[in-house]
Amino acid sequence: MNQLLTKEDADLSRPYEKCLMFGAAALTDAELIAVVIRSGVKGKSATELAQKVLELPSSGSGLPGICHLSASDFMKIPGIGEVKAIQLMCVGELSKRIAQQRMRRRMQCTNPADVAEYYMEKLRHEEQECIICMMLDTRMRLIGEECITRGTVSQSLLSVRDVFLCAIRHRAVRVMLIHNHPSGDPTPSEEDIEVTRRIVTAGEILDIPLVDHLIIGDMRYVSFVESGLIQHGS
């Protein structure tokens, strides 16, 4: 049976031993990654490999940037093979999902800025337009969400019918639309405005109003309600 290490016995240059002695909070970013990838290669320890991971160019520097890297990005580092790359991708995805769950619990669907913040990280790096239908209950709480269509880099094909079929499946009493512009510019196109007006009209007929339509860009968003493109918000 393994015995607990004493402070004198522990090699604190080894992340496993350091974590056992002082807890995960005591580890540096590189040491945390080293625990995940487990082993180094000839001439480089796991911690040294982990430091190379943190230095990879990405949309964010350091630890947050891992969330935006692909397996091929990680495998550019000598010593990071397919298995280690997949482990790192899963760590990044776990961190994103944990952050999203925390944001979702405190999100106020009546506040466009809150909703935009929740979806910003999820959508701002998408290479295609993705349109998400948020289903809301009578108290404006999120009861479900669904990506109802994906498009090309420049456009998506949004069907009014799909929006309300989605709402009816979830027994929603209100809906909100979220979609991204891969260009990074959230300015609504003429097509965005036209299809939104048709959805507003259909929602009034079906008594499932469209609360808002948010377009997500690169760290920016446009709310149709805040911009006056939808004349109601209830």
- At 57 the pLDDT is 77
From 106, 111, 104, 173, select the one nearest 137 (Cα to Cα).
173
From 115, 119, 123, select the one nearest 141 (Cα to Cα).
115
- At 63 the pLDDT is 79
- At 218 the pLDDT is 85
From 213, 139, 118, 135, select the one nearest 169 (Cα to Cα).
135
3-class state of residue 149 by DSSP: strand
Distance CA 33, CA 54 (A): 9
3-class state of residue 131 by DSSP: strand
Distance CA 22, CA 42 (A): 28
Which residues of the chain have a pLDDT value below 50?
Answer: 1-3, 5-11, 59, 233-234
- At 234 the pLDDT is 42
The domains of the chain are located at: 15-101, 109-223
**Is-contact 17 11, C-beta < 8 A?**
yes
Who contacts 103 (Cβ-Cβ below 8 Å, separation ≥6)? Answer: 117, 118
The CATH superfamily of 109-223 is Cytidine Deaminase, domain 2 (3.40.140.10)
Q: What are phi and psi of 24, to 5 degrees?
A: -65, -30
- The beta strand positions in the chain, using DSSP E, are 130-136, 142-150, 174-180, 210-216, 221-223
Distance CA 146, CA 178 (A): 10
3-class state of residue 231 by DSSP: coil
Distance CA 80, CA 50 (A): 9
CA angle 211, 147, 168 (to 5 degrees): 55
